[in-house]
Amino acid sequence: MTSTAPLDVDDLRSRMAGAVVLPTDPGYDEARVMWNGRIDHRPGLVARCTGPADVAAAVGFARSAGLPVAVRGGGHGSWTAALADGFLLVDLSPIRHVDVDPVARTARCGGGVLLAELDGATQQHGLAVPAGTVSHTGIGGLTLGGGWGWLSALHGLTIDNLLSAEVVLADGRVVRASETAHPELFWGLRGGGGNFGVVTEFEFRLHPVGPIIQLGLVFVEQARVAEAAVVALDLMASWPRGVTGGLGFNAAPPAPFVPVEHHFAPGMAVMIGGFADPGEHADVVRATVTALDPLFHVAMPIPYLALQQMLDEASVPGTRAYTKGLYLPGMTPEIAGILADRTALRSPMSQVLAFPLGGALAAVPDDATAFGGDRSGIALAIEGTGHDPSLDDAERDWVRDTWTALRPHARGAGGYVNLMSEVDDTVVGATYGPKTARLAQVKAQYDPENVFRVNANIAPA
Ligand SMILES: Cc1cc2nc3c(=O)[nH]c(=O)nc-3n(C[C@H](O)[C@H](O)[C@H](O)COP(=O)(O)OP(=O)(O)OC[C@H]3O[C@@H](n4cnc5c(N)ncnc54)[C@H](O)[C@@H]3O)c2cc1C
């Protein structure tokens, strides 16, 4: 660890409105905690930033002290696990404002906001930003990597709805990036992760959603997963625009709407969200049940906010998770067979999620943003999760082996950066492909010394 003299820390404290928490301070363990129970990082100091001036002071301090800088939005990422003790953690959790303009249908929110807070404020006006599926995820990391959720087929990724961002750059300047101001930075922020600066405020376009939407769950037993996955993906290709969802190769949840005898049954769930005509959604559920002959199915109207919180309990803070992603061109019997074989070996909480892409996502030209992924085909998330530290290695190996088995059928080794528990140059290069050179130019312009490198890192050109 690079030493930080107490005098220096006092100086930083005098320049910040927020607190600076040291390992010897009360509250240090709360200040350093992340969602993932596998992360036990030990920052040398946590700068609890209340706004751009605090962020600039903290980053400036780290630079002059020679400390690595890591940024925490909602704390759901994993990349600080690889850092040696003593880095400076820029904690954005105090920056939590959400301001909605229901007439212009826009929202501005702080860089440390959680999805529940953004959804809660926008739903008061029957509006929403397409974002993730677990409400305690941070808008910061989720947006900068892309941002996928229930509404993406209808309204695109989170970045496709980003109008502007207030960014603290490595040299302490505060700029607002948009299509017209710092356009290359704005391009890079939309998918290039935290490479270019610290975003203290996001501005989003909103869409009318809910407040009541339709949810369907059609669950097939494990023995029939291989054939059902192919049939389900075929059906999904013909879903009307207002119906979206994905496949979960997992266990039936112990939820009140699942018959008790099927709680924890292994198999495959077809998740069907309905955001337009309830009759249309009912038709889709009926057709899926007829085609799949499931173990059980449910369909019901629920508040959009409840949908956004539905998976929270299955991913409580402290969960020990290891994740990798891939993009598949489609679902073939061979791929479905591998998925069925591999998921038959998973532990109870682990799962593979498959989301067909397309719709509004595919309507955005690939080069419009820095997003390092596909906008068609299927996005795959392979998640090894549990609560027992002694099983960490086994979970990680199951994820890696599943990834390796599917890799020959995927579009290269790249994946969705937000699903990568670990990153290396090969995977980052494969993910961004031909966009890497442009990202490196943006990096050279806005962070030439690579101050922000605890991410899917782009080396400055
Ligand atoms: C339970 C769970 C559910 C998830 N569900 C989804 C989902 O449905 N859809 C989806 O797309 N993704 C999902 N993800 C992945 C998620 O998008 C990433 O983990 C994301 O990085 C989380 O952002 P965060 O701010 O909470 O994490 P953090 O750990 O705080 O941030 C992750 C990284 O992002 C950068 N960063 C964060 N905030 C800022 C900022 N304001 N300015 C600059 N850099 C910043 C930093 O490099 C940081 O290391 C999920 C993850 C988990 C653990």
Q: What is the pLDDT of residues 67-121, one digit of tens each?
A: 999 999 999 999 988 888 999 999 999 999 999 999 999 999 999 999 999 999 9
From CA 337, how far away is CA 225, in angstroms rounded? 8
Note whether 328 and 427 are same-domain residues: yes
Asked whether residue 293 is assigned to any structural domain, the reply reads yes
Asked whether residue 450 is assigned to any structural domain, the reply reads no
Note whether 216 and 203 are same-domain residues: no
Q: 255 pLDDT exceeds 90?
A: no
401: containing domain: 316-431
Model confidence pLDDT, tens digit, residues 380-407: 999 999 999 999 999 999 999 999 999 9
Asked whether residue 446 is assigned to any structural domain, the reply reads no
Note whether 223 and 243 are same-domain residues: yes
From CA 197, how far away is CA 362, in angstroms rounded? 28
**Domain end among 160, 189, 208:** 208
- What's residue 170's pLDDT? 98
SS3 of 69-94: the string is: EEEECCCCCCHHHHCCCCCEEEECCC
Which contiguous run of DSSP H or E holds residue 290? helix 278-292
**Burial status of residue 72 (CB atoms within 10 A of its CB: 0-12, 13-18, 19 or more):** buried
Q: Is the CB of 32 inside a 6 Å radius of any atom of ligand 1?
A: no
- What's residue 313's pLDDT? 86
Q: Is the CB of 455 inside a 6 Å radius of any atom of ligand 1?
A: yes
Q: Whose CA is nearest to atom 51 of ligand 1?
A: 76
| Cα-to-centroid distance, 134 and ligand 1 (Å) | 11
Model confidence pLDDT, tens digit, residues 125-149: 999 999 999 999 999 999 999 999 9
Q: Whose CA is nearest to atom 3 of ligand 1?
A: 134
| Cα-to-centroid distance, 451 and ligand 1 (Å) | 19
pLDDT band at 361; cut points 50, 70, 90: very high
Note whether 281 and 337 are same-domain residues: no
CB 220 within 8 A of CB 295: yes
Site to substitute for ligand 1 among 142, 186, 382, 455, most atoms within 8 A of C-beta: 142
Asked whether residue 399 is assigned to any structural domain, the reply reads yes
| Cα-to-centroid distance, 199 and ligand 1 (Å) | 13
Q: 6 pLDDT exceeds 80?
A: no
Instruction: List, in sequence order, the alpha helices (H) in 105-197.
Output: 115-123, 139-145, 152-155, 183-189
- What's residue 148's pLDDT? 95
Q: 174 pLDDT exceeds 80?
A: yes
From CA 378, how far away is CA 240, in angstroms rounded? 18
Note whether 158 and 66 are same-domain residues: no
SS3 of 19-48: the string is: CEECCCCCCHHHHHCCCCCCCCCCCCEEEE
| Cα-to-centroid distance, 219 and ligand 1 (Å) | 29
Q: Is the CB of 69 inside a 6 Å radius of any atom of ligand 1?
A: no
pLDDT band at 370; cut points 50, 70, 90: very high
Where residue 158 sits, what CATH number does that domain have?
3.30.465.10
Average of per-residue pLDDT across 176-180: 98
Asked whether residue 36 is assigned to any structural domain, the reply reads yes
Q: Structural domain tally of the chain?
A: 4
Bond prior to 448 in cis (omega within 30° of 0): no
Q: Is the CB of 111 inside a 6 Å radius of any atom of ligand 1?
A: yes
Asked whether residue 441 is assigned to any structural domain, the reply reads no
- What's residue 346's pLDDT? 83
**Domain end among 48, 75, 91:** 91
The reported pTM is 0.96
Q: Are strands 45-48 and 88-91 parallel, antiparallel or unpaired?
A: parallel
Name residues whose C-beta falls within 8 Å of residue 432's C-beta, 6 or more positions apart in sequence. 192, 370, 372, 414, 439, 458
Torsion (CA) 143, 207, 327, 347 in degrees, nearest 10: 80
